[in-house]
A and B are shown apart, each in its own frame.
Chain A
């Protein structure tokens, strides 16, 4: 626009931005403001400021004080421009390279202050005459670009937006797509050199066309090896990233091979450190573990402060460059995390997918790994939801289609591995329908389709159904960092509650409270009930996760454990109830689906048994209940555990901690008064009457055999058993001595399990 001041973009070479001439227009005119400013200055005394009403906290916080070292990013540079740095010999060419600075970037520091503190990367063209340096820089830049794109696409970095900020850095270079071929050529040359070294080691001479990498012939072989493993690592790492990006998980197999190669090269890199250190006669000062290079020498060509002005107008962030050793460790962990993602079977079963994601998060993968996790799982979700019912508006309107697709899969089999049901779980697995091949012509089913279609339309759902969206969002949230995840899950519960209420309403309107006698209508009702049940189960699962993430994030203080375990108990009861019902429905379906056999007494016995997955939850329930009652008894009888605060009571803390759950009525009829009611009467004497921990211990022991093929749950059960055993003993001690012995100290540790505390009793 003509009347808007136009500034040339501040270039990174340190030149001040130039003001382009702005012509006066019909509505604007140039005027000299100096007299006005002088008059204003004359009217103010030293230290006075003019305050405008629109000058708010944000504006105040955004203001920077020039020359304040905490705020002014510009004053602490060694060099003020890249050119100045180069002229001063900060980045000589040629140079031996050795950098793992991108690990610091992955760890959450800005690109400008980490990878691009490398002067060579900022002026990549300068390195062109030196093939080795050039190829290395190119692949680094291409790798950065690939990682930025995956993280941006996954959008799992809401709180880590620093990661993808490129501040106009030269990330997009022409010809970086050829970086692999350049690298391969260099690798080939060095391999030849290495072979030549070995062949001519007795003669100590190289063939004419090969130029030695450095000046000491006896070190040549070691240098070649050290360089080769670094180049190969970079090459394979780049391959890993590209393979993992291939659609529908097609590249995962090959990605795993490259991951294995990367790990091998990293080992060689580690081994090369001794050689590199021994090359230099003078020993370097300080602990080698803190150094950022393998040789222990200061890296050449890096200046972390060079780009600090790029991040203005934010104050300078303190950055910690990982030591060389830590950086290698970081890559090993990242590669292992990526390997876990690649080895996932892409099981379209939602439950196992969710469990996989949660399990994966336990190893605390960083942003890069989490983005790839989402990159792999999310399109996969799309794949099976794409075929699902609700994708197209026209399908929604065409209810015949809906019913056909809702109940049938492509190959004509019913409820086999139907993609839709993989997402909406076993919700619609109905026995009657399996037998009825004419189902799509059935009037009641058409009606059901209409109800769902109306429901979706009334929700303004255009391209994708609400349940699908909810599931996709859930998956996305589960891939984010724990802090963000918890906040999102809390708000997300509301959405699940709303869809439940709306579905229920739609269902009631259509079928009324009481089922009619028609068989088909019964079937429709069952489908609906199963969907409702499934939505409820998911809701409680999310609530459970929301609560336990609070432990991981250390959001609860000891004084609040009682109410947290009580709430956890209430949610778990509901979750196990819904899970049990869902399993009963699936079991029922599976049984009817199979050839009708005479029910043997053995079958009946098995049916009456509680499924292991539910027993697993019951073990949780016992632990939560045991801890609640013990904490309540301690609070009620020992003054130390009851410390009132001056401004509010336990009630306000309860309201704050569970506000989001309460707002969504999760679970129904659970409130502060009901918490009070169930815990006020707990006493140390009554505690002795029932030991919930013993129950937990017994269940954990019993149910272990059912999970012999599931190492993850087996490990969890072992932990639960340990906590239960410890707490059972602790409870006995507290009951015996608690009220009598004032020197008894009770504390809570998470030494055995991440969210079930181990009770520790000591005498002070």
Chain B
């Protein structure tokens, strides 16, 4: 929902400071924001699961020392696809509509792309002496495995779910190139349907 004009905070975009998750002192800030603004309940375990395993993918937005927004993400590889997942995205009402959420998500996605590409290079780069040695000395089985890995182009996809009624979020992700891949019937505890949104990246340049 759009905030009423009188609730809007006065600030310059440059005053907003974005920081990557920095440790346990950030956790209560994230939890407070999410608990206030999102309908789904998350236990402390869920927060820790994300921020401990992927601290580099979580960001907080501050305005004059006050935390006004946050994004929490994860990523992993499954079936030749690097999958990023945006678990939570919150900007408090008075600060909405000024691009803070877009900036938070963009930062996370860029981090995902960077780590995704690093992974690609590590996996595929023939100058990697470990892999080269395997190429030369490996037995048939390992060789086939390596060749398969070598020729499989890893895809990078970022997904998330959003309430079908959350027009603001849908527009934001639409601008970033997400498509609505699926509709999930009564997905949330409040009975609202969700869209599963997906962002597919162009195939990475093959390093040969």
Chain A interface residues toward B at CB < 8 A: 47, 49, 51, 55-57, 59-61, 63-65, 68, 70-71, 108-109, 159-160, 162, 315-320, 481-484, 486-487, 553-557, 559-560, 643, 645-649, 651-653, 655-657
Q: Is the CB of A656 within 8 A of B183?
A: no
Most buried by A among B35, B179, B195, B198: B179
Distance of A750 from chain B, by nearest CB (Å) = 16
Set of chain B residues within 8 Å of A49, measured between Cβ atoms: 44-45, 48
Decide: A63 near B43, CB < 8 A? Known: A555-B180, A656-B181: yes
Determine which of A47, A555, A652 lies in contact with B183 in the assembled complex, contact meaning CB atoms within 8 Å: A555
B80 interfacial contact with A, CB 8 Å:
no
Mask, B82-106, CB within 8 Å of A = 1, is: 0000000000000000000000001
Mask, B166-183, CB within 8 Å of A = 1, is: 000000001111011111
Set of chain B residues within 8 Å of A487, measured between Cβ atoms: 182
B140 interfacial contact with A, CB 8 Å:
no
| Chain A residue at smallest Cβ distance from B184 | A483
B191 interfacial contact with A, CB 8 Å:
yes
Q: How many Å lie between the Cα of A556 and that of B182 in the bound state? A: 10
B154 interfacial contact with A, CB 8 Å:
no
B129 interfacial contact with A, CB 8 Å:
no
Q: How many Å lie between the Cα of A475 and that of B185 in the bound state? A: 20
User: By DSSP majority rule, is chain A's interface helix, strand, loop, or mixed?
Assistant: loop
Q: Is the CB of B184 within 8 A of A646?
A: no
Q: How many Å lie between the Cα of A8 and that of B177 in the bound state? A: 53
Q: How many Å lie between the Cα of A463 and that of B52 in the bound state? A: 53
Q: Is the CB of A645 within 8 A of B176?
A: yes
Q: Is the CB of A656 within 8 A of B179?
A: yes
Q: Is the CB of B191 within 8 A of A317?
A: yes
Decide: A557 near B41, CB < 8 A? Known: A55-B49, A647-B109, A652-B201: no
B24 interfacial contact with A, CB 8 Å:
yes
Set of chain A residues within 8 Å of B49, measured between Cβ atoms: 55-57, 60
Q: Is the CB of B200 within 8 A of A481?
A: no
Q: How many Å lie between the Cα of A560 and that of B197 in the bound state? A: 14
Q: Is the CB of B190 within 8 A of A318?
A: yes
Q: Is the CB of A160 within 8 A of B185?
A: yes
B148 interfacial contact with A, CB 8 Å:
no
Q: How many Å lie between the Cα of A553 and that of B164 in the bound state? A: 10
Q: Is the CB of A646 within 8 A of B177?
A: yes
Set of chain B residues within 8 Å of A68, measured between Cβ atoms: 41, 43
Set of chain A residues within 8 Å of B185, measured between Cβ atoms: 159-160, 481, 483-484
Decide: A646 near B106, CB < 8 A? Known: A71-B43, A555-B181: yes
Decide: A647 near B201, CB < 8 A? Known: A60-B49, A68-B41: yes
Q: Is the CB of B41 within 8 A of A653?
A: no
Determine which of B43, B184, B202 lies in contact with A648 in the assembled complex, contact meaning CB atoms within 8 Å: B202
Q: Is the CB of A554 within 8 A of B183?
A: yes
| Chain A residue at smallest Cβ distance from B199 | A647
B26 interfacial contact with A, CB 8 Å:
no
Size band of the B side of the interface? 35 or more
Distance of A379 from chain B, by nearest CB (Å) = 26
Mask, B33-60, CB within 8 Å of A = 1, is: 0010000011111101100100000000
Q: How many Å lie between the Cα of A152 and that of B199 in the bound state? A: 36
Set of chain B residues within 8 Å of A71, measured between Cβ atoms: 41, 43
Q: How many Å lie between the Cα of A705 and that of B45 in the bound state? A: 66
Determine which of B44, B45, B109, B177 lies in contact with A59 in the assembled complex, contact meaning CB atoms within 8 Å: B45
Mask, B13-39, CB within 8 Å of A = 1, is: 000000000001000000000010000
Q: Is the CB of A63 within 8 A of B176?
A: no
Distance of A552 from chain B, by nearest CB (Å) = 9
Set of chain B residues within 8 Å of A484, measured between Cβ atoms: 185
Q: Is the CB of B46 within 8 A of A60?
A: yes
Set of chain B residues within 8 Å of A553, measured between Cβ atoms: 183
Q: Is the CB of A648 within 8 A of B177?
A: yes
Q: Is the CB of B45 within 8 A of A555?
A: no
Distance of B72 from chain A, by nearest CB (Å) = 12
Q: How many Å lie between the Cα of A487 and that of B194 in the bound state? A: 14
Q: Is the CB of A159 within 8 A of B184?
A: yes
Set of chain B residues within 8 Å of A559, measured between Cβ atoms: 174
Set of chain B residues within 8 Å of A317, measured between Cβ atoms: 189-191
Q: Is the CB of B202 within 8 A of A554?
A: no
Decide: A159 near B183, CB < 8 A? Known: A318-B191, A647-B109: no
Decide: A320 near B191, CB < 8 A? Known: A55-B49, A483-B184: yes
Q: How many Å lie between the Cα of A362 and that of B49 in the bound state? A: 43
Q: How many Å lie between the Cα of A486 and that of B196 in the bound state? A: 14
Determine which of A319, A556, A643, A656 lies in contact with B200 in the assembled complex, contact meaning CB atoms within 8 Å: A656
Distance of A105 from chain B, by nearest CB (Å) = 13
B193 interfacial contact with A, CB 8 Å:
yes
Q: List 5 A-B contacts (CB under 8 A).
A: A49-B48, A55-B49, A159-B184, A317-B191, A645-B176
Set of chain B residues within 8 Å of A554, measured between Cβ atoms: 164, 180, 183, 195
Decide: A647 near B181, CB < 8 A? Known: A47-B24, A64-B43: no
Q: How many Å lie between the Cα of A316 and that of B109 in the bound state? A: 33
| Chain A residue at smallest Cβ distance from B109 | A647
| Chain B residue at smallest Cβ distance from A655 | B200
Decide: A557 near B174, CB < 8 A? Known: A108-B191, A483-B182, A652-B200: yes
Set of chain B residues within 8 Å of A648, measured between Cβ atoms: 177, 199-202
Q: How many Å lie between the Cα of A651 and that of B42 in the bound state? A: 36
B186 interfacial contact with A, CB 8 Å:
yes
Q: Is the CB of B46 within 8 A of A315?
A: no
Q: Is the CB of A315 within 8 A of B189?
A: yes
Distance of B6 from chain A, by nearest CB (Å) = 27
Set of chain A residues within 8 Å of B175, measured between Cβ atoms: 643, 645
Set of chain B residues within 8 Å of A57, measured between Cβ atoms: 46, 49, 74
Q: How many Å lie between the Cα of A61 and that of B189 in the bound state? A: 13
Q: How many Å lie between the Cα of A314 and that of B151 in the bound state? A: 44
Set of chain A residues within 8 Å of B202, measured between Cβ atoms: 648-649, 651-652
Mask, B125-147, CB within 8 Å of A = 1, is: 00000000000000000000000
Set of chain B residues within 8 Å of A646, measured between Cβ atoms: 106, 176-177
Q: How many Å lie between the Cα of A648 and that of B155 in the bound state? A: 12
Q: How many Å lie between the Cα of A319 and that of B74 in the bound state? A: 31
- 10 new A-B contacts, CB < 8 A, other than A651-B202, A655-B200, are A55-B49, A63-B43, A70-B35, A108-B186, A159-B185, A315-B41, A315-B189, A553-B183, A647-B109, A653-B177
Decide: A60 near B198, CB < 8 A? Known: A159-B184, A320-B191: no
Q: How many Å lie between the Cα of A160 and that of B193 in the bound state? A: 12
Distance of A415 from chain B, by nearest CB (Å) = 42
Q: Is the CB of A645 within 8 A of B180?
A: no
Q: How many Å lie between the Cα of A626 and that of B183 in the bound state? A: 28
Set of chain A residues within 8 Å of B198, measured between Cβ atoms: 656
| Chain A residue at smallest Cβ distance from B174 | A557
| Chain B residue at smallest Cβ distance from A560 | B179
Q: How many Å lie between the Cα of A100 and that of B182 in the bound state? A: 34
Q: How many Å lie between the Cα of A653 and that of B20 in the bound state? A: 30
Set of chain B residues within 8 Å of A56, measured between Cβ atoms: 49
Q: How many Å lie between the Cα of A319 and that of B189 in the bound state? A: 9
Distance of A317 from chain B, by nearest CB (Å) = 5
| Chain A residue at smallest Cβ distance from B47 | A60
| Chain A residue at smallest Cβ distance from B41 | A70
Determine which of A65, A162, A486, A647 lies in contact with B177 in the assembled complex, contact meaning CB atoms within 8 Å: A647
Set of chain A residues within 8 Å of B189, measured between Cβ atoms: 315-318
Distance of B86 from chain A, by nearest CB (Å) = 13
Set of chain B residues within 8 Å of A560, measured between Cβ atoms: 179
Q: Is the CB of A483 within 8 A of B177?
A: no
Distance of B49 from chain A, by nearest CB (Å) = 4
Set of chain A residues within 8 Å of B180, measured between Cβ atoms: 554-557
The 7 closest A-B pairs by CB, nearest first: A645-B177, A70-B41, A60-B45, A483-B183, A60-B49, A652-B200, A553-B183
Q: How many Å lie between the Cα of A560 and that of B177 in the bound state? A: 11
Determine which of A51, A318, A320, A645 lies in contact with B52 in the assembled complex, contact meaning CB atoms within 8 Å: A51
Q: How many Å lie between the Cα of A68 and that of B43 in the bound state? A: 9
Q: Is the CB of A555 within 8 A of B191?
A: no
Set of chain A residues within 8 Å of B48, measured between Cβ atoms: 49, 51, 60
Q: How many Å lie between the Cα of A617 and that of B117 in the bound state? A: 47
Set of chain B residues within 8 Å of A319, measured between Cβ atoms: 191
